[in-house]
Structure formats: structure tokens, C-alpha cells
Amino acid sequence: DAKTTQPPSMDCAEGRAANLPCNHSTISGNEYVYWYRQIHSQGPQYIIHGLKNNETNEMASLIITEDRKSSTLILPHATLRDTAVYYCIVRAYSGAGSYQLTFGKGTKLSVIP
Amino acid sequence: DVKVTQSSRYLVKRTGEKVFLECVQDMDHENMFWYRQDPGLGLRLIYFSYDVKMKEKGDIPEGYSVSREKKERFSLILESASTNQTSMYLCASSLRSGNEQFFGPGTRLTVL
């Protein structure tokens, strides 16, 4: 399975864009990049996913480099409620008809007032 | 909105007790998952199920079993709870293979 590397922590000023990097240099051609976040004392929440092209939804944008070895999650206008641990995950196929998500340690994003 | 519910937010049990953690999803999802989360270790997959009565081991199945008799319900069973099973347990579901997973609020289990 491809592994991901993320910085352990980041700060972002409220109202500014938060750019969270992820390195996945061993990703294979059919593996997707997923982003989840976990606010303290809650279950993880799905944010966005992509394969090759950049993706945008109501929560965030995902920028994947052309060689697919890294990606950046962008929260365009961070709020205090975006303070959470953000997980970058490469989806692996584990057989038996299901895809396993392997959660690493993520990046602890602190949005500062 | 998808809703994944877990039977308890907090649970305290004694060593050797049999423990049942229940998870229910209301969106007819095929796949269901049980994870545990520990400080410094992230989320680790215990078991998952891709259909009724079907189950597959995850990364750390030892000491656990699961049951999926109905599509909407996935139970995690600790046959004889031990102190090293003190953890946050998270249930998740997904519509089909490869779809995003939706998580429940978690059950914080303490084994004394």
C-alpha cells in the first residue's frame, strides 16, 4: 500500500486559506487520494477525494500534482470550527470486495482567531 | 444525511467480561467497518463486512469477533475484555466498495 507523509501540525489564521500538504510518492496508478478530518471527540468526517484531476466541493479543494506524488487540501476560508486533525489517505484494495482505508497520524490544524 | 449510530458513547467494563458494541446505519450501505483509535497509533481497522453474514479481518482482529445478521447492524464483540482493549471504538459504513466511509460518534470503552 502506498504510504502518506503529512506534517504533524500547522497553524492558520482565521479567514485565511489553509493549505495542507501530503506526500504519497509510492502511489500506484489506480489508487485514489482521500481526505478526512476528525474534530475532537467526534468520528472522522469525509472531506473530498480524487484520482488525477483537481477536485472541489462545498468543503474544500484538492490539488493533485501531475506526477501524483503529492497533493494539497485547501480550505479556502478557515474558521475556528475547522480546527481538527486532517488525514490524507491513499485507498488500497484489500480484496473481498472492499477497499480499506489506512489512517496515519494526520496533521493537527489549529485555526487561530 | 447518512446516520451511523453507536449504542453507547461511554462504557466501563471489568476484565473478563463479554462486551457488545452495536452499530447501526440507516442508509442501506453494503459495507460496514470497526476501527479502534489510540493516541499515537491513529485508527486501526479491526474487522469489516461487505455483506450480510460476511466478514473480513482487518489489521488487528485478535481478541475481537463481529456479527452482521442484518444489513443495517454490525456488532463488535469482545469475548473476554482485557485492559489493553481500553480504547475509542469507531464504526463506519459505506454504500459500496470504494465509496467514502461515514463514521459514527465513537464509543469510549474503559476496561478495568
CA B53 distance to own-chain centroid: 15
How high does pLDDT run on average in chain A? 91
When pLDDT is averaged across residues B36-44 and rounded to a whole number, the result is 88
When pLDDT is averaged across residues A73-101 and rounded to a whole number, the result is 85
A12 and A80 in contact (C-beta within 8 Å)? no
Could you report the per-residue pLDDT of A12-47, keeping only the tens digit for each? 999 999 999 999 999 988 888 999 999 988 899 999
Residue A50 touches partner B, C-beta closer than 8 Å: no
Quote the minimal CA–CA distance from A81 to chain B in Å: 17
For the cut 80, the answer to whether the pLDDT of residue A98 exceeds it is no
pLDDT confidence band for B1 (50 / 70 / 90): low
Which grid coordinates are listed for A31? 489508487
When pLDDT is averaged across residues A88-110 and rounded to a whole number, the result is 80
3-state secondary structure of A80: helix
Cα torsion A108, A91, A75, A61 to 10°: value is: 170
Half-sphere exposure for B65 (CA within 13 Å, toward CB)? 6
Least confident of A17-31, A35-49, B14-28, B95-109: B95-109
Determine how many CB atoms are found less than 10 A away from the CB of residue A6: 21
d(CA A71, CA A67) in angstroms, rounded, equals: 10
pLDDT confidence band for A94 (50 / 70 / 90): low
Mutate to test the interface with A, among B31, B41, B100 (most CBs of A within 10 A): B100
3-state secondary structure of A82: helix
CA distances, A48 to each of A36, A51, A58, A104 (Å): 7, 11, 9, 17
d(CA A96, CA A58) in angstroms, rounded, equals: 33
Half-sphere exposure for B96 (CA within 13 Å, toward CB)? 0
When pLDDT is averaged across residues B89-104 and rounded to a whole number, the result is 88
For the cut 80, the answer to whether the pLDDT of residue B44 exceeds it is yes
When pLDDT is averaged across residues B26-32 and rounded to a whole number, the result is 92
Which candidate from A32, A41, A105 shows the least CB-CB separation from B42? Answer: A105
Pairing of strands A107-112, A9-13: parallel
